[in-house]
C-alpha cells in the first residue's frame, strides 16, 4: 500500500470520512453540550454509530464487521473528535481496547459468545490494565487470579477503566498475576470477566475534569469466579499481547487529538469571521489570524504524523517509533490549539457550553492516556538507540 497522504485519500476512505463528518456535524454536535453538562453517557448516539458500522470498521464481515482496516477507524475517530471527544474515545476504547483483543487472541468459542455484539455496537467492553501502582509498569500489577476447581478466582482493583460500567457493557478483560516465572518475575495473563459476575464490582463513576459523557470507573474484584476457559490468549502473555494493542491505540489517540485540534481551528475561524471589534472582524487582525494560522499548522503536522504511523502499520512494518511520535505531536498540538482557541473566543471560551471550552477541558488527558508524554519520549529515544 502506498503512503497515506492528507487531502489525497483513496475514494473509499474519503467517502467514509464524509459520512462520519456529516453524522458528527448534524447529529452529534447539537446535543454534545447537553450531554457534557449532564455527565450523561450517549446511548442513542452509540446505537446510531453501531448502525453506521463504526464499531465494526476494522473487523471481517464474518463477525458482523465492515471488512475495513484500522485506518478507517482512525478517520472515524478523528471526525467525531472534532465535535465530541467523549464519543470519540467511546469508539476508540470500544474497538481498540474492548473488541480487538478478543478478536486477536480469543478462542472460537469466546468470539462466538462475545464478539458480534461488540463489533455491531450492541455491547461494549472495557480493558482493565491500570491499577493504583501499575500501568506503564506492568511489574506493579497486584490483581491476582488463581485456578481453583476449574475456575479463575480474581482479587484486586483496577483504575480509570473506560466503557466498564455502561448499561450495555458485557465484559471487562483484566490483566492479573497468575503465577511466577522462572526468573522470579510475575506471570501476567488476561482474563474475561462478564458483567454481573459475583465478586466483580463496578465502583461509582469518576468526577472527571473532561470527557464528561464518556464512561470511566474504578473496578474491584473480591473472590470473583469465572470459568478457566475465560483465559484470553496464552497464559503469561497477557501484558505482551496488550503492548501490541498499545501501539495501535497510540495512533488512534493521536487521530482523536488531531480531530480535536482541527475542531479548535474550525471554531476559531468561524468565530473570527463573525466577531467584530472596532468595525471589522477580529480575524482581520494579525494577532488573531496568525494565531489561527499556527493552530492550522499544528493540526496539519500532527495529522501527517499519524498518517505516517498508520501507513507503516497497514504495510505490516514496525511502527512503534512512529506511533509514539504521532501521539506526542498530536497531544502537544491539541493542548496548544485548545488554549489558543479559548483565547480567540475570549470570555465565551470560558463558558462550558462552547465547544472550545470543552476541548480545553477534554484535551489534557490526551497527554496522559495511552502512555504519557514522558513515556512517548522514552520510547522514541529507545528506538533511536539511546
**Cβ contacts of residue 262 below 8 Å, gap of 6+?**
78, 82, 299, 303
Catalytic: which of 12, 370, 374, 383? 370
Q: Is the dihedral of CA 235, 236, 239, 240 positive or negative?
A: negative
Q: Is 374 a catalytic residue?
A: no
In DSSP notation, 185-245 reads PEEEEEEEEETT-TTEEEPPPP--SS-TTS-EEEEEEEEEEEEGGGEESSTT-HHHHHHHH
* Distance of alpha carbon 15 from alpha carbon 18, whole angstroms: 5
Q: Which helix (H) or strand (E) holds 330?
A: helix 320-345
In sequence order, what are the residues at sequence separation of 6 or more whose Cβ sits closer than 8 angstroms to the Cβ of residue 147?
Answer: 153, 178, 228
- Provide CB contacts within 8 A for 236, sequence distance 6+: 178, 179, 181, 187, 188, 189
| Angle in degrees, 0-180, between the axes of helices 43-52 and 11-23, rounded to the nearest 10 | 160
**Integer Cα distance of 211 and 202 in angstroms:** 19
DSSP classification of residue 132: T
SS3 123: coil
H or E stretch at 340: helix 320-345
Instruction: Give me the active site residues, please.
Output: 370
Amino acid at each position: 500500500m502506498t503512503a497515506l497522504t492528507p487531502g489525497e485519500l483513496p475514494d473509499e476512505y474519503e467517502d467514509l470520512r464524509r459520512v462520519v463528518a456529516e453524522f458528527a456535524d448534524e447529529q452529534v454536535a447539537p446535543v454534545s453540550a447537553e450531554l457534557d453538562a449532564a455527565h450523561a453517557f450517549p446511548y442513542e448516539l452509540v446505537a446510531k454509530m453501531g448502525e453506521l458500522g463504526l464499531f465494526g470498521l476494522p473487523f471481517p464481515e464474518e463477525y458482523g464487521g465492515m471488512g475495513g482496516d484500522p485506518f478507517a477507524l482512525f478517520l472515524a475517530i478523528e471526525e467525531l473528535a472534532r465535535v465530541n471527544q467523549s464519543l470519540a474515545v467511546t469508539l476508540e476504547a470500544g474497538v481498540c481496547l474492548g473488541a480487538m483483543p478478543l478478536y486477536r487472541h480469543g478462542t472460537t468459542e469466546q468470539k462466538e459468545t462475545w464478539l458480534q455484539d461488540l463489533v455491531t455496537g450492541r455491547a461494549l467492553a472495557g480493558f482493565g490494565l491500570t491499577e493504583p501502582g501499575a500501568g506503564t509498569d506492568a511489574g506493579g500489577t497486584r490483581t491476582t487470579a488463581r485456578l481453583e476447581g476449574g475456575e479463575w478466582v480474581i482479587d484486586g482493583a483496577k483504575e480509570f477503566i473506560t466503557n466498564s460500567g455502561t448499561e450495555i457493557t458485557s465484559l471487562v478483560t483484566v490483566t492479573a498475576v497468575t503465577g511466577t516465572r522462572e526468573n522470579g518475575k510475575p506471570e501476567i495473563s488476561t482474563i474475561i470477566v462478564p458483567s454481573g459476575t459475583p465478586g466483580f464490582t463496578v465502583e461509582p463513576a469518576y468526577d472527571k475534569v473532561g470527557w464528561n459523557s464518556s464512561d470511566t470507573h474504578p473496578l474491584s474484584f473480591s473472590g470473583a469466579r469465572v470459568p478457566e476457559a475465560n483465559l484470553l490468549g496464552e497464559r503469561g502473555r497477557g501484558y505482551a499481547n496488550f503492548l501490541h494493542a498499545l501501539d495501535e491505540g497510540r495512533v488512534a489517540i493521536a487521530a482523536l487529538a488531531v480531530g480535536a485540534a482541527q475542531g479548535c481551528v474550525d471554531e476559531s475561524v468561524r468565530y473570527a469571521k463573525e466577531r467584530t471589534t472596532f468595525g471589522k472582524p477580529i480575524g482581520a487582525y494579525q494577532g488573531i489570524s496568525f494565531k489561527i494560522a499556527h493552530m492550522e499548522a499544528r493540526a496539519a503536522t500532527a495529522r501527517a504524523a499519524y498518517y505516517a504511523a498508520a501507513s507503516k502499520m497497514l504495510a505490516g512494518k514496525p511502527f512503534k517509533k512512529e506511533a509514539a511520535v504521532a501521539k506526542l505531536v498530536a497531544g502537544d498540538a491539541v493542548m496548544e490549539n485548545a488554549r489558543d482557541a479559548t483565547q480567540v473566543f475570549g470570555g465565551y471560551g470560558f463558558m462550558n457550553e462552547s465547544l472550545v471550552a470543552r476541548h480545553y477541558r477534554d484535551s489534557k488527558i490526551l497527554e496522559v492516556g495511552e502512555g504519557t508524554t514522558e513515556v512517548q519520549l522514552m520510547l522514541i529515544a529507545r528506538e533511536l538507540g539511546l
